[in-house]
Structure 1
């Protein structure tokens, strides 16, 4: 590595630590060469372009899209247990691996088989901001599930990012995945939630950590959502992470030949200046072999059902569902044309929102509710 690249990498690290992520990735793109960045950017943009040319189906943003089913508007509900207060509560979870604060939302009435959704914020966010951005508390109130928002500590990461890129945070029973899994089990059991219906989702760095949890704890999480995230295990340090954010992984990312990850839904804007949309496609391709193997079929036997759409606000998107013929989706990819680094359909007043839609929060829940529940959930660390 020559002195110019070393200096640029050091500056990119400083920008990242200051929370200036778009500037850091732009700097990396410039150093590594526009040609490489254009190559990876073209991968996702070409896919999205397929959706942009031709006739569009105009879809109502207020309803679930893309499947025959829809997000249920309500569940047969049961009252909260006596002595358990609904609404927002906050606490700190501590175990041998470390401690993290959290925010928990419990609705006034729970579904008969109440689910737990773990929501991992991105860099420069906290649980409160992430709850506002995604409107997940409102959806939990409507649908009767509990939402856990873990908080990254400043001591662990000065930028408030989940450290998905560190080798010590990529294995089961270690580092941040170990803390988050133990926290999830503890609160799942404390609130008597259904262990077969535990899900994890995240945005940006939170999405990358959500993917890590799904890969390392497939016996805990029934499905995962990655919004503007990256594949599992592709970086072992911050510099590599910044390069991957700028360009996407070379060779499609790390293969998972012996792992059986849970179903996954991925959202990404093809104009994202912070995390290259090439990461979205690499992430789907990383999960598909294991998903197909769980169903006892070769990955080539999966159907890729493509659907073009446009929101009421004029945002064009491509949705691809990967499924066995006649079955429910095992994986789903949404690419939004021209969308940047923001939660699709997020609250308009929130930072990191792409309010033009589609509604990622509702589509995520629709996908989660459609996949099989987790059989034989484990309490193994």
Structure 2
């Protein structure tokens, strides 16, 4: 370690406290390389987000205080005169909390702390006897993706089970997403398989699904082909009810889930979208940030028959504009002739208020359901503090999604 390191780490601390996390990260990287300046224009352009902490109220059980709970845009380093400034960064970077923690651990002298904290680590729950949570992989011409699969103890040998495919958000992992959403616990309760495809940093520096790339928005190509391949591989390896296969995701994963429903309406019976964006909202990084900041505007509906969809979005989401939730619902056919719309309002005890808008057909089956969560940001509603980017103040998005999924899927998808 050179004599420059203590002064350099002090400068990194100053930049961090000033909100310039990009500058702090770049400085740490230069210090580790022993360089005084970073080489210009290295690495790919990526989308950046910063972990934001949310305090869980004391009356929510098993909710330790101040755990990582949400995303917020990195506006602190926006340059004047650019609609997207502060969102583009050269050089490969992981989530900022994780990057700063990892670099600081390797670069700073003993006893010197940046004071930026770190991401909460998932606390794995013991598996019930007879259940399993294992890793596998699938590959095709588009590449290879690993995934984790939860097989519940609550099953009968040979009886087809529902399958839920869960697409994590940026910087997350299957284990983190499973811990935060508690979906495995619900799968045990209802007897479901749950698959968690994993986006590697080699495909996106922040492990975001590339929902804004045209090649990753269509059937049979890119990431949709890999996610569909994972789904079909699980269906081949296990007894799965083909009429009860669902896909859901958070943020970039939510946008990817919308794409999967549009591209594979024959495979997925329903879609769950938390803090995501509509299909076709972007075609490159600038249009992605435009959609994230202000909504996608008029977005065309997919040519295929829309798949039943449930949407959750916080009305104070500053990372993905709440109007994107409206656009997802519009794409899912909420405005179709003959649908009946009902609205109810509720309040989680000690938590968030919400509105729930349900669009039903003539038989009373819900085709679209939209939850708008009052005062909530960019985080999985009702999730566990054991995982990242969750808001324990509810409502319970995982339970409501699974309820929506399992509610008469054969009748809802007949004639597709």
TM-score, structure 1 length as denominator? Answer: 0.75
Residue 244 of structure 1 corresponds to which residue in structure 2? 291
Contact 2:176 2:387 in 1 (8 A): yes
Match of 1:137 in 2: 184
- What is the aligned partner in structure 2 of residue 331 from structure 1? 368
Alignment gaps of 5+ in structure 1 = 1-9, 34-79, 293-298
Matched residue SS, 1:115: strand
Matching of residue 103 in structure 1 with residue 148 in structure 2: yes
Aligned with 2:225 (options 178, 196, 204): 178
SS at match of 1:160: coil
Indicate which of 47, 52, 69 corresponds to 1:16: 47
SS class of match (2:371): strand
Cα deviation digits, residues 220-253 of structure 1 (max 9, x gap): 00000000000001111111101110100123x2
C-alpha distance in 2 between matches for 1:110 and 1:236? 42
Q: Tell me the distance in 2 between the aligned counterparts of 1:222 and 1:197.
A: 6
Aligned to 2:13: none
Distance 1:211-1:30 versus aligned 2 partners, 3 A rule: farther
2:397 corresponds to which of 360, 369, 380: 360
Contact 1:346-1:359 within 8 A present in 2 as well:
yes
Rounded Cα–Cα distance in structure 2 between residues aligned with 1:352 and 1:28 = 27
1-structure distance, mates of 2:282, 2:80: 17
What is the CA–CA distance in structure 2 between the aligned matches of 1:363 and 1:156, rounded to whole Å? 31
* Whole-angstrom distance in 1 between the partners of 2:331 and 2:403: 22
Give the CA RMSD over aligned residues. 2.6
- What CA distance in whole angstroms lies between the structure 2 residues aligned with 1:276 and 1:25? 15
Q: Please, which of 323, 335, 341 is the counterpart of residue 304 of structure 1?
A: 341
Between structures 1 and 2, the one with greater helix share: 1
User: Structure 1 residues 367, 224: CA separation in 2 closer, same or farther (over 3 Å shift)?
Assistant: same
Which of 1 and 2 has greater Rg? 2
Q: Is 1:115 equivalent to 2:152 in the alignment?
A: no
Matches of 2:46 and 2:407 in 1, distance apart?
41
Deviation track 1:45-98 (CA, whole Å, cap 9, x = no partner) reads xxxxxxxxxxxxxxxxxxxxxxxxxxxxxxxxxxx9xxxx73111012112221
- Counterpart CA distance in 1 for 2:385 and 2:200 is 27
CA gap of 1:29–1:22, structure 2 versus 1, over 3 A, is farther
Pick one of 323, 333, 336 that aligns with 1:278: 323
Q: Which residue of 1 aligns with 2:358?
A: 321
Given that 1:25 and 1:245 are in contact with CA atoms closer than 8 Å, whether structure 2 keeps it comes out as: no
The 3 A distance-change label for structure 1 pair 247 and 322 is same
Alignment of 1:1-381 (within 5 A): 16-17=47-48, 22-24=72-74, 27=78, 31-32=82-83, 86-110=131-155, 112-251=159-298, 253-256=299-302, 258-288=303-333, 299-373=336-410
8 Å Cα contact 2:211/2:255 also seen in 1: yes
Structure 2 CA distance, aligned partners of 1:216 and 1:372? 18
Runs of 5+ in structure 2 lacking a partner?
1-40, 52-70, 85-128
Q: CA deviation at 1:302?
A: 1.2
Q: Does structure 1 retain, via aligned residues, the 8 Å contact 2:254–2:276?
A: yes
Partner secondary structure for residue 332 of structure 2: helix
3-state SS in 2 of match to 1:182? helix
State the aligned residue count. 307
Cα offset for 1:109? Answer: 2.6
Answer whether contact 2:306 2:331 (CA < 8 A) is retained: no
Calculate the TM-score normalised by the size of structure 2: 0.69
